[in-house]
Amino acid sequence: MNAADFSYLADLLKRRAGFHLSPNKTHLATSRLGPVARRYGFRKTDELFAELRDAPEDLARAVTDAMMINESSFFRDKSCFDHFRGVILPSLLSARAASRRLRIWCAAASTGQEAYSLAMILDEAKIAKEWRIDLVASDISSIAIARAIEGRYSQYEVQRGLPAHTLVRYFAQDGDQWRISERIRRMVVFRNFNLLDSYGWLGAIDVIFCRNAFLYFEPLAKRACLKAFSQVLADDGYLALGASETMEGASTAFISDDASVRGVYRKARPALRPIALAS
Amino acid sequence: MKHCLVVDESRVIRKVVCHLLEEMKFYAEEAAESVSALETCRAQMPDVVLVNLGDAGNMELVRALRRSKADKRPVIIGTMTEHDVGHIREALSAGADEYVLKPFDRDALKEKFTVTGLM
């Protein structure tokens, strides 16, 4: 891949997905885009780039999709899910006792492991009968979302992070693969969504999980997303980022929920207006 | 320092796994079969027992450890060569906490130790 094509690609990803493609990723780009080029009938990636510059939407989308990082695993960073089970869920069940409604959004759901991890925790909490729980999961990659909806995972994927009891309880073995039960699959609504687009469809949310997506974001795109998150998140809601992600330089709207659990935030309380004392 | 007992009839596997565990700062002991494993556990109950469930008598070792009146309840991780749901279920109902597929590396062990709260 030549330098001009690479820089065109970097610009495309920044524009379309807020994605920061670092300059040392030529090898990654070549290996990811080879299959896309073949699928569209190009012999080499430079032919793909010649076509891409005419900006056909479906090709640009396929290229963006192929470049996304879809790394995910069940209960990734156990402490975050323990915190959801032990602190976030009980606190919201008590705060929403009147409405009995809870809305949770996995904003960078990748191939579904995170959303299904939350669904399994919610199932174990045995609240489905009395509560209306919306568990919405979205990702910019339509390939990842299609896999998530399918709910099939390899031996390697179910060996990572998933406790054995949970595996035998919620998964059925199907040859070399494991498929998550229909009951859990039906708890999650998956949707193809770019975090840079309008959040109008979403409505108010009580918990946002957006873990390890901002690691690859341009700083401005991260700021814009966090601002949008603060607008859709309930005042007493929670936001979970990845364990190594911080708000530094990106948002002042959130504060750490518990210093011992990295990546979990609540909305900062708005500053109190000074009260004029009667003289 | 956490104490791990490795039970496997293969001497090579015991050596490799004990080496992995020592790198992970565990105190590692080994046993070739269930009788000597049970003796080791009676002398001092380990924090974790990594037991090959493919060897004869080892499923019974798991049950015996769960029947034991010792104060300490060890984490039991069964090692297996086939990823089979029936076999996993049998191990769990015998009293194992987790399973790990053979051959496993340091990352796979770490994963299972994290899931069971050992790390």
pLDDT in tens, B74-84: 999 999 999 89
Chain B residues closer than 8 Å to A168 by CB: 85, 88-89, 92
Fold designation for A78-267? Rossmann fold (3.40.50)
Q: What is the mean pLDDT of residues B4-24?
A: 97
Task: State the span(s) of chain A assigned CATH 1.10.155.
Answer: 3-67
Q: How many CB pairs under 8 A join A and B?
A: 34
Inter-chain residue contact A173 with B84, CB threshold 8 Å? yes
Token match 């065109």: residue? A8
Q: CA B13, CA B32: separation in Å to the nearest integer?
A: 10
pLDDT tens per residue across span A133-164: 999 999 999 999 999 999 999 998 998 889 99
The answer, for B119 touching chain A at a CB cutoff of 8 Å, is no
Q: CA B11, CA B31: separation in Å to the nearest integer?
A: 9
The whole-chain average pLDDT of chain B stands at 96
Instruction: Return the residue of B nearest to A154 by Cα.
Output: B83
The answer, for A172 touching chain B at a CB cutoff of 8 Å, is yes
Q: CA A77, CA A14: separation in Å to the nearest integer?
A: 28
Domains of chain B with bracketed CATH? 2-115 (3.40.50.2300)
pLDDT tens per residue across span A199-258: 999 999 999 999 999 999 999 999 999 999 999 999 999 999 999 999 999 999 999 999
pLDDT tens per residue across span B36-58: 999 999 999 999 999 999 999 99
Nearest beta carbon to residue B98 from set A155, A160, A163 = A163
Give the pLDDT confidence score for residue B52 in this predicted structure: 98
Task: State the span(s) of chain A assigned CATH 3.40.50.150.
Answer: 78-267
Note if the pTM is more than 0.80. Answer: yes
Q: Which residue out of B62, B75, B83, B110 would a mutagenesis test of the A interface target, given it has the greatest number of A Cβ atoms within 10 Å?
A: B83
- pLDDT at residue A274 greater than cutoff 70: no
Give the pLDDT confidence score for residue A273 in this predicted structure: 66
The edge-to-edge listing of strands for the beta sheet with A152-154 is A152-154, A177-180, A171-174
Inter-chain residue contact B98 with A173, CB threshold 8 Å? no
Q: What single-letter DSSP state applies at residue A270?
A: P
Give the pLDDT confidence score for residue A244 in this predicted structure: 92
Chain A residues closer than 8 Å to B84 by CB: 173
Instruction: Return the residue of B nearest to A163 by Cα.
Output: B115
pLDDT band (50, 70, 90) for residue A127: very high
Q: Which residue out of B79, B85, B102, B109 would a mutagenesis test of the A interface target, given it has the greatest number of A Cβ atoms within 10 Å?
A: B85
Instruction: Return the residue of B nearest to A167 by Cα.
Output: B85
Fold designation for A3-67? Chemotaxis Receptor Methyltransferase Cher; domain 1 (1.10.155)
Say which residues have a Cβ less than 8 Å from residue B115's Cβ, sequence separation at least 6.
A75, A78, A161, A162, A163, B98
A35: preceding bond cis by omega (within 30 degrees): no
The whole-chain average pLDDT of chain A stands at 94
Chain A residues closer than 8 Å to B76 by CB: none
Q: CA B66, CA A46: separation in Å to the nearest integer?
A: 63
Q: CA B22, CA B6: separation in Å to the nearest integer?
A: 12
Please give, rounded to a whole number of angstroms, the shortest distance from the CA of B55 to a CA of chain A: 20
**Burial of A148: CB neighbours in 10 Å, binned 0-12, 13-18, 19+:** buried
Q: What is the mean pLDDT of residues A58-66?
A: 94
Number of helices followed by number of strands (H, E) in chain B = 5, 5
